[in-house]
Amino acid sequence: MDVSETTQKQTPADTGVDTAQNSISASMITSTTTNQQSYMPLDNHPKTTFHSLGRNHPPTNTTELNTTTAPSSGVTGKPVNANLQRLITGAAGISKRKLKPLLPTNGLTIVEQHFHHIAKDKNQVIMAVHGNLRLPPQAKHISEHRILDLLRLAQAQHYRLCSYVDYETQTAHLLATRAADLQPPLRFVDRIDSTTWLQTLNDEINTNFDVTSQTKPLWRIAMTAPKEWRGAGISFNDTLVSTNENSKSETDDTRAKSASTMPCFDIVFTFHHCIGDGLSMWAFARSFFELATADVLNQNTLDLKNVLVNSDPPPLLDNLIKANTLEIIPPAAGLIRQHLRKDIKNKFKKFHLSDEIDLGTPSLPSSPTTPYTTEPMYATGVKTPNTLAPTIEIIPPSTENSYVVLESTAFSESQSQLIHAPCYSTVLSTTPRTILRLTMFSAEFSKDLRAAVKKNKTTVASAMIVAALASTRAVYAKQSKYLGLPLPTHQGWVVTTSMRHLIPGSQLLNGVDKKADPSTRVFGGYGGSISDPSMRLTPKDDLWDRSRRVKKRIGSGLFTSMRRMKLTNWCFRHPKVWNFLSKKADLAKLTRTMSVEMANLGAWDYDCAPPDAKQEDERFRLNRFGGTLNSSFEGSRALFSLGVITIGNDMSVTVGCDQAAVSDAESECFVNHFNTCLDVMRKSTGKLTLADLEKQMSK
């Protein structure tokens, strides 16, 4: 799953976007993002547009992708030179000749097949993206039925979302051929209070899919809304709709106030990782957001019977790779050398925190001037407000998971000093389960952070990795076995990357803006990873220097990631080798071998409207958003997992961890330290050592 990319010109590493443009070093590619770019979905079959919607919505089905040229309006960056492009495709082993397919065209990739066949008694690899949407002032009606129609239209654009996956053959098969016949797996949750969405998100990320079903796809939706929206829904009074004559004479402030009174709802899209990667779920979210308009809500009918389902599976890179024995020797030798080398002794060995933690007194809630808000989800903690403070609504503990979830509340400065400190559990669970904390950073915070990393010749993604390592160190410092003793000096980190630049027809390497490139519209598996198992971080180290080290590693690691993909493909083509490795592989040994894993969905424009959109904007307002990954499956590589996404200038970071390895108190300690660390880094004017950081945080 980088961080922020707006209309300013930035290097790929400045954003950390999960594509090739942001994985290759800054000297190779420069990209920008422009507003309202057109796009060309990659899925190939006869064109069908939404004639009944009354506006230029993206087509559900499109003609065959033009693989030679890109939309001229999307060319905003400097293309990679031809020699480097050949080097990239050579590193990945992409053949120019048509090869005999290694896998069925409607099948899963080699890596996806492993995710699909995880033991039934184990936690699955599950990812989710969520948002809080406010209806536009022009909306006259809202209902569960109409939301289902929007979901059908968005679902119809993506082959794998319209299909079930056969458990034996591991191939995808369509469940319907027309949008009207699709049955989106929607769970409607009545909104009890402002914390219901958190409980819903928590349940979704921890609930396994039925991978053997031949009637359901491997994704689902959970919608938290007023119960009156169920079924046929409700209509709004004309006074709420700003289309009357009087609205023309209203001031901007009055219009904004009118728009802010419209109701909102929360929606969670949850996917099994075997059908797609992080950018895939964002591709679907974009499809839905682009349809979420007052025009669509107010239509009498959307005529779904005339909308065809995408019948073409996403391209499989495994079918395009051809490697000979000589080509796989370097990556194989690298893996063997890494396996045989003696590990650095001065490292955190036990990536499973204990119950013996001395957190002292948890800090009070951040003051209203803090440019970020954190919304936690934890097991037994309860915020107890003073009688003078606003009431915080609390959901009683569930009999199934004993979780209490809370939503941050904005307090005045005088009231914030009266809030009792939260009490978090220090007890580890006996059952693996992901716990989450979401932090929304303001546009001001994001801009300052981008300016700081640019000044220090690094990237936001790299700075966040360093901040996360420092935060992990801070959590371990509170362990009883480390109190008063020197901490280990080295930690490991891993970031996800993407191979979408290798998809046939992608123009990312030619400088096309990622929003306009067809490869970012494909729902499939194109993920990779880059890691450093032992990076030094001591009190004497300059955080900016460490950040530049991470940036350099990410820039060079793309080629290593592509070569390993080629090695995996070669092994799979040789059954004896593959079977031998499959028997020897033990993913359990990879569990929590790193401190931090970051999945970055990248930086995007608002496909729907921003929260402060003008009254005339008919799109849904996106008030809050985030992306996350289950952290409790066997093989989850890090103690703390970060899901990062930036829309416009607003950035969200979701921290996930396994409650069987990290207690609520430790998770809270990590998030508080991480947020404060980023805050100090964005305000720093020069060298900032870890010791300096700890001094500032102790004040």
Asked if 547 and 117 touch (Cβ cutoff 8 Å), the reply is: no
Global pTM value: 0.81
Strands 234-235 and 219-225: unpaired
pLDDT at position 351 is: 53
Q: Tell me the three state secondary structure of residue 558.
A: helix
**β-bridge partners, 619:** 293
- Alpha-carbon torsion, ordered 601, 603, 605, 609, to 10 deg: 60
Q: 78 CB contacts (<8 Å, ≥6 apart)?
A: 29, 30, 31, 511
**CA gap 608, 611 in Å, rounded:** 10
Mean pLDDT in consecutive groups of 10 residues from the start of the chain, 699 residues = 36 35 32 32 38 38 35 57 74 75 95 92 94 94 95 98 98 97 96 92 95 96 96 73 43 55 94 96 96 93 94 94 80 73 60 51 40 49 28 29 29 29 63 91 94 96 96 85 78 92 88 89 92 92 97 87 88 90 78 89 92 93 94 86 94 93 90 95 92 84
What's the burial of 397, exposed, middle or buried (CB within 10 Å: 0-12/13-18/19+)?
middle
Domains in the chain with CATH codes: 51-69+119-315 (3.30.559), 373-425 (no CATH)
Q: Which 8-state DSSP code applies to residue 507?
A: -
Nearest Cα neighbor of 163 from 148, 177, 149, 150 is 177
Tell me, letter by letter, the H, E, C secondary structure of 564-584: HHHHHHHHHCCHHHHHHHHHH
- Owner of token pair 């046939």: 504
Tokens of 264: 């909102």
**CA gap 290, 50 in Å, rounded:** 12
Tokens of 434: 């992901």
**CA gap 607, 513 in Å, rounded:** 15
Asked if 216 and 166 touch (Cβ cutoff 8 Å), the reply is: no
**CA gap 546, 118 in Å, rounded:** 36
- Nearest-5° Cα angle at 421, 416 to 426: 155
Q: Tell me the three state secondary structure of residue 436.
A: strand
Strands (E), 135-274: 141-142, 163-165, 172-174, 186-190, 219-225, 234-235, 264-272
Asked if 652 and 478 touch (Cβ cutoff 8 Å), the reply is: no
**β-bridge partners, 531:** 494
Q: 240 CB contacts (<8 Å, ≥6 apart)?
A: 137, 258, 261, 262
The sign of the CA dihedral 28, 32, 33, 34 is negative
Q: Tell me the three state secondary structure of residue 602.
A: strand
**CA gap 140, 62 in Å, rounded:** 31
pLDDT at position 589 is: 75
Q: Tell me the three state secondary structure of residue 86.
A: helix
